[in-house]
Structure 1
C-alpha cells in the first residue's frame, strides 16, 4: 500500500510533464511568427551594411536558417508539446518572417513558451524523417549522421577586400533551450499569434564577441561551435 501511495505521489508531481493532446474540447490554433531583424530593423540581404562586432569591416547576409525543435506551450504546470516538433526556419530569401501554426492547442491561456534551437540528441543521431528533418536535405551533414542546427553564410568586406563567411553549427551538444514568459493577455491582443524576433547578429556578439576576420568559418571545430551556440542561445526574443 505504501508503494502504491508513493507511485501516486510521484505521478501527481510529474503530471505537468505529460503533454495535453490536440483535439480536446476548447482547443484553439496558435501561431508563432518569427521576424528576422538586425538592430531593430528587418534583415537586409546581400548588402555590406552590418558592422563586424569584433573587428574591422562590414558584412552581408546571404543565407540564414536554423532548426527549432521540441516546441511546447505552458499554462502553469500543464503543457502542450507539439508532436514531431522539428521546424526548419529559413531566412535565405526576401521573406523575412517564418510562421509555425499549432492548429489545436488545448490550453485556455499560455504563460510560457519553450523550445530548442537545434535538434535533440536522439533525433540528431537518427535517419528517421520527422517534421522538417530529412537526412537527404542540405541541412544534413555529409560526413556523419546529424544536422546543421544553424547556418549563416555571407561575406565580409574590409577596405576593398571581400572574403566569404561560412558558419555551420550542429554537434549534439550545441542544442540550446530557449524559454520565456508571456503577458497574460498576449493571445487576446494578437489574435492567437505570438510574435518573436530573431537577430542573427547575436551569433557574433553574445556571451563572447567574435571577429569575423579572425574566424571566418566554423564547421568541424567543437570549441568554436560551442562559442557560437552560447551566443545564438539569445538570438530569439519575444516581440512585446
Structure 2
C-alpha cells in the first residue's frame, strides 16, 4: 500500500518551507555622518562659513528620519514599518540606526526627513517621537522636522544666535521632505551579507541650493511657514550614500 495520504502533508510542508524562505529577513544598518561643506561637524567650537560668506558655529543639530522604504530592482518600493528615528549630533548612538528587511537585492533606499502627518496628529507618543526630545511644538503645529542652533556674527538676532526649527505638515508649506538615494544594497542572510550604509548629511545645504538663506536677513525660525519650507527644500538635498559595506 502506497502512502498517498502523506502527499497533502508533504505539499503543505513544501509550501511552509517556501513561505519561510520568502519571509526570511536580515538586518540593515545605517550610519549617519554629519558634515558642513564636507568638513566633519563639531558642536560648540568649530567655525564654518555658509554660501554667503557668513561664519557660524553649531550648538545643536537634529533631524527625523522616517518612513524608510527599499527600492527593488524593478523600481517598486518595499515600505519598512514603524521606522521613526531621531538623529542627534550630540548623541553618538542616535547616528547608528538599524532595521529588519526581507532578504533580496535592492537598488536604493528612500525616506522622509521629518514626521508624516498621521503621526503629527496621533497624540502623545513614545521613543523617538516622545515630546521630551525637544522636537515638538504643539498638537496644532506638530513636530519640528529638523533643528539647527548656533551663533554667527552676521546673525540678525540681537544676541547673534541662530535658531532654525523647521516644521509644518499642512498645506503649501509642508516641510516633510522625501529623499531618494540610489546604491546597490544586497541583503542575504545565508551569505552573511548584512549591509551597512554610511549616509553623509551636509548642513551646508540648509542655506544654499534652491534658496539662498542669509543669516543677516533670517536668523530665526520658530513656526511653520514659507521660510521653514524654503530651508526644508534646501536640506532635502543634504544626504549622500558615501559607503556601503557588509557587516
Distance (Å, rounded) in 2 between the aligned partners of 1:145 and 1:185:
39
Residue 237 (structure 2) pairs with residue 234 (structure 1): yes
Residue 126 (structure 2) pairs with residue 123 (structure 1): no
Residue 101 (structure 2) pairs with residue 101 (structure 1): no
> Could you list the runs of 5+ residues in structure 2 that have no partner in the other structure?
1-19
Distance (Å, rounded) in 2 between the aligned partners of 1:23 and 1:163:
59
TM-score, normalised relative to structure 1: 0.78
1:223 matched residue in structure 2: 226
Pick from 63, 68, 71 the counterpart of residue 66 of structure 1.
63
Distance (Å, rounded) in 2 between the aligned partners of 1:170 and 1:23:
42
Higher alpha-carbon deviation: 41-50 or 164-173: 41-50
* SS of 1:122 mapped into structure 2: helix
How far does the alpha carbon of each residue in 1:148-186 deviate from its partner, in whole angstroms, 9 at most, with x for none? 001000000249x96100000110011000011113669
Q: Flag the 1:48–1:158 CA change in 2: closer, same or farther, 3 A.
A: farther
Residue 83 (structure 2) pairs with residue 85 (structure 1): yes
> Could you list the runs of 5+ residues in structure 1 that have no partner in the other structure?
1-21
Residue 200 (structure 2) pairs with residue 197 (structure 1): yes
Following TM superposition, where does structure 1 have runs of at least 4 consecutive aligned residues deviating by more than 4 angstroms? 22-25, 184-188
How far does the alpha carbon of each residue in 1:185-230 deviate from its partner, in whole angstroms, 9 at most, with x for none? 6999x95101110111111112111111210101225111111011
2:17 matched residue in structure 1: none
What are the within-5 Å matches in structure 2 for residues 9-28 of structure 1? 25-28=23-26
1:47: how far off?
Answer: 2.8
Q: Flag the 1:23–1:175 CA change in 2: closer, same or farther, 3 A.
A: farther
2:148 matched residue in structure 1: 152
1:10 matched residue in structure 2: none
TM-score, normalised relative to structure 2: 0.76
- Over alpha carbons, which structure has the higher Rg? 2
Distance (Å, rounded) in 1 between the aligned partners of 2:194 and 2:209:
33
Distance (Å, rounded) in 1 between the aligned partners of 2:101 and 2:184:
18
1:106: how far off?
Answer: 0.8
* SS of 1:231 mapped into structure 2: helix
1:177 matched residue in structure 2: 178
Distance (Å, rounded) in 2 between the aligned partners of 1:225 and 1:123:
19
